[in-house]
A and B are shown apart, each in its own frame.
Chain A
Amino acid sequence: MTSTEKIIARASSMPSVAPDDVVFVKVDKLMVHDVSGPGVIKVFEEWAKKGVHLERIWNPDKVWVSEDHFVPAADKISANNIMKLTNWTKKFGIKRHYKYGLGQYGICHTLSHEEGLVLPGEVYVGGDSHTNTTGGLGAFAIGLGHTDIAYSLMHGQIWIKVPETLLFNLEGQLPPHVMAKDIILKIIGDIGTDGANYRAMQFSGETTKQLIMDERLTLTNMTTEAGAKNGIIDADSITGSYLRDRTHEPFSALKGDLDASYAEKLTYEIDRLEPTVAKPYSPGNISPARELQGTEIDKAYIGSCTGAKLHDLRAAGKIMKGKKVKVRTEVVPAAQSIYLNAMNEGLIGIFLESGAVVGPPTCGACCGAHMGVLAKNEVCISTTNRNFPGRMGDVESKTYLASPLVVAASALTGMITDPRDI
């Protein structure tokens, strides 16, 4: 069995499982945020009309809530959603509610690893499609909709169709100015935005083993953009030391068998990879950054669960230190703890002195719903994960996706720029 199959077998109390089996798995951890949380509450309201009432949730200690998409509330409807969510978590005894303005908080996926909330070998379901991120810790982490989350909260289990696994062997040294973002954009460009539909994407090989956790999480985060059910990287000593700094909970990693069978094995020679950009309107529409050199931009955005971890901010800071931005640039750290660390390292000062604005940790401009929205025909280069029509604002705005190095370099020149040319 593969790593994913082993976790599903363990969680479904089956001796073994195989692709296409449909099984009910016990959920180990569960997350909702300020969009899916009110959505889940709405599902329970609808169910109550049909005579099914939520009396208690299966295990409040395994659940956490984040406020990230619509904070600070910009209107009454958002404020009411937050109020509703807050009352609900109190009523059902959920102690971990990461509240805007009250200590640690940030993007749900960032908290899942930054706070050590999910452990290797666990089944983790979240009310957001980028829940895949946390598979970087060696967990089976999948995004679900409101109804499935509501069902999981009530019963502590959910049905899963066992996915086939695509194995990506990443080999060679990561060249200077190339990041995990370039690797995953290249892969999505090759296999397409439905290339891993219903499947698991597992990353292995020498390069993967050398990547620090923040970079591994960028790989698994964007498996969603290839349609994958989950992304996974086997836990190792890097995972162990990352988690030891964050949690006292014991864990034992489940790893795939040596003779596991994979739908396909693909090898990538990473030492030949170049800084890569996804053009509008698809994460799979890729080009080397140099081929887009000179494309004028109106805005640079460094934010999101995939592009504003501490390592991402350090990468941007390295490029921006002592320089001035030529277009409006927003930096939005992915969590309060990251913001604080970035400040202590002097990164926030570098961004402010460059002329960029630094915003409070939230999902920010990524989903075009709350702040930093793009106008018609505006062009943005962004460290985020999606560039569908209208994703970051007007349907006729354009978003290019790239690594923090490429985005920072582009901020300094006002046009798409390969960081090797700075």
Chain B
Amino acid sequence: MDKLKGTVHKYGKDNIDTDVILPGPYLKIHDHAELATHAMEGLDPGFPKKVSQGDFLLTGANFGCGSSREHAPIALSSAGITAVLAPSFARIFYRNAVDGGYLLPIEIERSAVEKISDKNTLEIDVDKNAILNVTTGESFVMKQFPSLIKKIIECGGILHYKP
């Protein structure tokens, strides 16, 4: 896979839930571009304007807990986010992100979350499970994707994956 490079937007708290990522009143919306304008509205209404295409979200543990709304990874991805880095993810958010081909849910150690700052530039090499903080020169290890997940990611989502 090609390396990813982008700017970090850090929201370090644990348990950022889907009601915060994409609040309930917008569940009736299914247009991806419109959902993007409400990404992270429960935490930071200015978020969509801060993000450029290819940026990363860095958060605490259990990111995406709560409802199964696929609107959450769609909103983030349509706002420009290509990877979320966190110590752990809620399972449905993780599945949605991978199977829908929206963004990469990358698990990293909590200590790595603490060492990476807002607005740092990262380079992510999924094939080598390596993350380089271009701003500080520090490098980190990401948890390897299980083989099925990696294959689905390489297919761009579950649509083109053949069991």
Taking Cβ atoms with an 8 Å cutoff, the residues of A that contact B are 22, 24, 35-36, 38-39, 42-43, 47, 50, 52, 69-70, 75, 77-78, 81, 127-129, 131, 143-148, 151, 157, 159, 161, 193-194, 197-198, 227, 229, 282, 367-369, 386, 388-391, 395
Contact = CB atoms under 8 A, between A and B. Distances in A.
Contacts of A386: 17, 19, 66
Given A127-B68, A151-B158, A389-B19, A35 B88 contact: no
26 contacts: A35-B28, A38-B28, A39-B70, A43-B100, A47-B159, A70-B28, A75-B28, A81-B30, A128-B68, A129-B68, A146-B70, A147-B70, A148-B96, A151-B99, A161-B146, A193-B15, A193-B62, A194-B90, A197-B88, A227-B91, A367-B27, A369-B27, A386-B17, A386-B66, A388-B20, A389-B20
Contact of A128 (B25, B30, B67, B146): B67
B96 A77 contact: no
Nearest to A82: B28
Q: Lowest 9 CB-CB distances: which A-B pairs, in order?
A: A369-B24, A145-B96, A145-B70, A194-B62, A129-B68, A147-B100, A146-B70, A42-B30, A143-B68
Interface string B8-42: 00000001010110011101111000000000001
B25 A368 contact: yes
Given A38-B28, A77-B29, A367-B24, 6 more contacts: A35-B69, A129-B92, A151-B99, A194-B88, A388-B20, A390-B19
B66 A147 contact: no
A405 B88 CA distance: 36
B163 interface: yes
Contact of A197 (B17, B24, B27, B90): B90
Contacts of B27: 35, 69-70, 367, 369
Nearest to A45: B30
B66 A129 contact: yes
A356 B58 CA distance: 45
A280 to B, nearest CB: 13
Interface in B67-104: 67-71, 88, 90-92, 95-96, 99-100
Contact of B157 (A77, A81, A127, A147): A147
Contacts of A75: 28
A36 B68 contact: yes
Contacts of A77: 28-29
A91 B65 CA distance: 34
B47 to A, nearest CB: 14
A390 to B, nearest CB: 5
Nearest to A69: B27
Contacts of B29: 77
Nearest to A368: B24
Given A128-B67, A227-B62, A368-B25, A395 B100 contact: no
Interface in B138-163: 146, 148, 157-159, 163
A159 B95 CA distance: 10
B85 to A, nearest CB: 17
Given A77-B28, A368-B25, A145 B100 contact: yes
B124 interface: no
Contacts of B90: 194, 197, 227
Contacts of B68: 36, 127-129, 131, 143-145
B113 interface: no
B19 A388 contact: yes
A191 to B, nearest CB: 12
A400 to B, nearest CB: 16
Nearest to A199: B91
Interface in B49-73: 61-62, 65-71
B24 A391 contact: yes
A79 B68 CA distance: 22
A389 B15 CA distance: 11
A391 B19 contact: yes
Contacts of B66: 129, 386, 388
Contacts of B146: 22, 161
Contact of B28 (A81, A159, A161): A81
B163 to A, nearest CB: 5
A144 B29 CA distance: 18
A197 B91 contact: yes
A146 to B, nearest CB: 4
Contacts of A198: 91
A42 B70 CA distance: 11
A161 B65 CA distance: 18
Contacts of B42: 389-390, 395
A71 to B, nearest CB: 11
A197 B159 CA distance: 26
